[in-house]
Chains A and B, each alone.
Chain A
Amino acid sequence: MADKKIELTRQDRLAVAWRHQFLQGSWNYERMQNGGWCYAMIPAIKRLYATKDDQAAALKRHMEFYNTQPYVSAPVLGVTLALEEERANGIPIDDVAIQGVKVGMMGPLAGVGDPVFWFTIRPILGALGATLALSGNIVGPLLFFVAWNVIRLAFLWYTQEFGYRMGTEITKDLSGGLLGKITSGASILGMFIIGALVNRWVSISFTPVVSTVTQQKGAYIDWSALPSGVEGIKAALEQFAELGPTGLNMDKVTTLQSNLDQLIPGLAALLLTLLCCRLLKNNVSPIVIILALFAVGVVARVIGLM
């Protein structure tokens, strides 16, 4: 492969890593971390693209939707830096490939980052610091602050560098249409992950009760007929194991949501997303849709629909 004419220096990558700490600064309901991502990419874009047009194109493609745990975003950033560097040196990597890689990585990595950082490391350090702090000992807060930030800064820098090197490895083999395959693969993975995210992270649940049916005797636990004390608990549990959750009450309550879930779980979320796709294609402004959704949420809560 020919020597690169344009390369990101360590200084550039350090500047990007520093700015990456402000990733969530403009977190918004429309495209989430997109503003912070673009802000972080600026030193790289300045280095890689000289003409106003190229710069504007780069800035625009880095204002696309992006959301993941802010620390595991670092390897994604590293890979993106590598892809952009290759593109600036003339290798044809299109916008769909770059966005596909970002979207494809952001979901699964968030699945790692959220449990590891928010639900393991921070609670452990927090509990450790808190127990020291309960007696007024300043070592508690200091320990929490220092340990957390050392781990975080090391992680942010080293995984970004790792992603950067891995990214350049991927793009080294240009022949055999590897990049074309990565583009297709990235859109496949991206759409797959978005399908999963629509199901899991768009939450709509309807509260109305469709029917309340009194069950036949024997289909529910007759609480008044149970023996008292521990024997009663045992009998109740045995009956529960047999009858299932519907056996707990005399009346079987069927909600709208449970009916929908029997068709396809997440159906409402899917329909809403497809509706938004249609509205956006018809040039309805995203901010109008978002405000409308909040209004719908409030109204639905008031009338008891959601």
Chain B
Amino acid sequence: MNPITIALIVLVAFFAGMEGILDEWQFHQPLVACTLIGLVSGHLAEGIMLGGSLQLIALGWANIGAAVAPDAALASVASAIILMLALSDSGVDVSNAINTSIALAVPLSVAGLFLTMIVRTLAIPVVHAMDAAAERSDFAAIERWQVAAIAMQGVRIAIPAAALCFIPAEAVTAALSRMPEWLSGGMAVGGGMVAAVGYAMVINMMATPEVWPFFVLGFVLAALSELTLIALGAIGVCLALIYLGLKEAAASGGGGGGSGDPLGDILDTY
């Protein structure tokens, strides 16, 4: 591949990497990423076709809460590059090449997932640096760190993309698939647990003895899986309103009321 093509591919990969975390313009989705890589490599139609096929596979890949979905960015970019490399050999059958690239996309998405988990961990020191900048009310430093974090996510895809352009494709996919199951499985187990740290920080900030019962209520009710988060939110709002209403009634009514024993009051009056 000529150097300009490689440079443009790396640029597209960088945008896909950024969007893999930002999830706004969707440059990481197969329809966009594969099309762009096809465009800069001179095989636009094949890129579009690959993008369409992968998009149908990736329709449900979405990050929910702290859980990370299979990575569309690496899957789209890497399989598109592999397709372009295959197509540069003019004797190759196009639909065969596309099918092979699609088959590689799923293991690549798992590898991409692993890479994003690493970057999301590396973002922690970045955020600590932002904390320090906040202490000094240094706006520019916070902005620089945010840009740095986004660039880190871009590089997460740009580097493998660049590697793929130079190294034979088989070597790269072999290296990625050689990641042992215990490591990727273990990282997934760990990833499921780390949300507890963030929640613990919020609890430490908000908890007073008065509101702990509501934490317990929320925890227990969440076990009913038919209750969606909106339902839980509604319950939470109602609990807050009822509780505050009762507190107010007790504060205003209790002073002017009787001895606090309603039955006794009735008997006395009678």
Interface, chain A (partner B; CB < 8 A): 21-32, 34-36, 38-39, 42, 45-46, 52-53, 55-56, 59-60, 63-65, 67, 70, 96, 99-100, 103-104, 107-108, 110-112, 114, 118-119, 122-123, 126-127, 129-138, 140-141, 144-145, 148-149, 152, 181, 184-204, 264-266, 269-270, 272-274, 276-277, 279-281, 286-287, 289-291, 293-302, 306
B194, A290: Cβ atoms closer than 8 Å: yes
Residues of B within 8 A of A296 (CB): 190, 193
Report the bound CA distance from A273 to B204 in whole Å: 11
Interface size class on chain B is 35 or more
Asked if A52 meets B189 with Cβ closer than 8 Å, knowing A31-B198, A298-B183, the reply is no
Interface CB pairs A-B, < 8 A, 27: A24-B23, A30-B201, A59-B142, A63-B130, A63-B131, A70-B23, A123-B59, A127-B55, A129-B55, A134-B49, A136-B49, A138-B35, A138-B48, A144-B55, A145-B31, A185-B237, A188-B244, A189-B214, A192-B217, A194-B199, A196-B218, A272-B196, A286-B124, A287-B125, A291-B121, A293-B190, A301-B182
B137, A35: Cβ atoms closer than 8 Å: no
Interface readout for B237-264 with A: 1 if CB under 8 Å, 0 if not?
A: 1011101100010000000000000000
Residues of B within 8 A of A129 (CB): 31, 52, 55
B124, A294: Cβ atoms closer than 8 Å: no
A145, B64: Cβ atoms closer than 8 Å: no
B197, A293: Cβ atoms closer than 8 Å: yes
Which of B25, B26, B53, B220 contacts A134 (CB under 8 A)?
A: B53
Interface, chain B (partner A; CB < 8 A): 18, 21-26, 29, 31-32, 35, 44-46, 48-49, 51-53, 55-56, 58-60, 62-67, 120-121, 123-128, 130-131, 133-137, 139, 142-143, 145-147, 149-150, 153, 182-183, 185-208, 211-212, 214-223, 228-230, 232-237, 239-241, 243-244, 248
Chain B interface SS verdict (over half): helix
Report the bound CA distance from A42 to B48 in whole Å: 39
